[in-house]
Amino acid sequence: MPLVRSPRPPALLAAALLLAAAPPARAQSTLEAPPNLKGTWAVRPGTASFVFAHRFVSLHGGDELVNFPTLTLAVGLPGRFTVGLDHATNSETVADHLGGNETEYWVKRAFRLPGGVTLGGLAAYNGLAKSFDGAVTARLPLGRLTVLGEARGFSDMFGTGDAGFAAAGGGVLHVNRYLGVMGDVGRVLSADSFGTVWSGGVAVRIPGSPHTLSLYAGNGSVATLQGASRPRALFPDKLRWGFTFTVPLGGPRRWMQILRPPPEAPPADSSAAPMDAGAAAASVLVKDFTFGPGKVRIRAGQSVRWVNQDDDVHSAVADDGSWSSPDLERGDAFARRFDTPGRYPYYCRQHPDMTGVIVVE
Ligand SMILES: [Cu+2]
Q: What is the pLDDT along the chain (361 residues), one digit of tens a residue?
A: 444 444 444 544 444 443 433 333 445 788 889 999 998 888 888 889 999 999 999 988 878 899 999 999 999 998 889 999 999 999 999 999 999 999 999 999 988 888 889 899 999 999 999 999 999 999 998 989 999 999 999 999 999 999 999 999 999 999 987 899 999 999 999 998 899 999 999 999 887 677 899 999 999 999 999 999 999 999 998 999 999 999 988 888 778 778 877 655 444 444 444 444 446 889 999 988 889 999 999 999 999 999 999 877 899 999 888 899 998 988 999 999 999 999 999 988 877 778 899 999 9
Q: Distance, CA 153 to ligand 1 centroid (Å)?
A: 35
Q: Distance, CA 290 to ligand 1 centroid (Å)?
A: 7
**Which residues keep their CB under 5 angstroms from ion ligand 1?**
314, 348, 350-351, 354
Q: Quote the pLDDT of residue 5.
A: 45
- Pair 230, 98: CB distance under 8 Å: no
Q: Distance, CA 274 to ligand 1 centroid (Å)?
A: 22
Gap between the Cα atoms of 41 and 360, Å rounded: 34
CA separation, residue 149 to residues 172, 185, 196, 345, 350 (Å): 12, 10, 15, 38, 28
Q: Distance, CA 155 to ligand 1 centroid (Å)?
A: 39
Q: Quote the pLDDT of residue 262.
A: 61
Q: Distance, CA 352 to ligand 1 centroid (Å)?
A: 7
Q: Quote the pLDDT of residue 158.
A: 95
Name the CA dihedral angle for 248, 128, 107, 77, rounded to a multiple of 10 degrees: 50
Q: Distance, CA 60 to ligand 1 centroid (Å)?
A: 44
Q: Distance, CA 321 to ligand 1 centroid (Å)?
A: 16
Q: Distance, CA 168 to ligand 1 centroid (Å)?
A: 30
Q: Distance, CA 348 to ligand 1 centroid (Å)?
A: 5
Q: Distance, CA 61 to ligand 1 centroid (Å)?
A: 42
How would you list the strands of the sheet with 355-360, edge to edge?
295-298, 355-360, 342-347, 317-318
Q: Distance, CA 110 to ligand 1 centroid (Å)?
A: 19
Q: Distance, CA 177 to ligand 1 centroid (Å)?
A: 13
Q: Distance, CA 219 to ligand 1 centroid (Å)?
A: 34
Q: Distance, CA 328 to ligand 1 centroid (Å)?
A: 9
Nearest CA to 53 among 37, 66, 72, 34?
72
Q: Distance, CA 141 to ligand 1 centroid (Å)?
A: 19
Q: What is the CA radius of gyration of the chain?
A: 22
Q: Quote the pLDDT of residue 288.
A: 80
Q: Distance, CA 125 to ligand 1 centroid (Å)?
A: 33
Gap between the Cα atoms of 214 and 192, Å rounded: 30
Q: Distance, CA 293 to ligand 1 centroid (Å)?
A: 14
Neighbours of 134 (CB within 10 A): 24
E strand or H helix that includes residue 201: strand 196-205
Gap between the Cα atoms of 329 and 352, Å rounded: 17
Q: Distance, CA 264 to ligand 1 centroid (Å)?
A: 22
Q: Distance, CA 347 to ligand 1 centroid (Å)?
A: 8
- Pair 154, 51: CB distance under 8 Å: no
Nearest CA to 102 among 57, 78, 76, 70?
70
Q: Quote the pLDDT of residue 320.
A: 86
Q: Distance, CA 351 to ligand 1 centroid (Å)?
A: 4
Q: Quote the pLDDT of residue 276.
A: 42
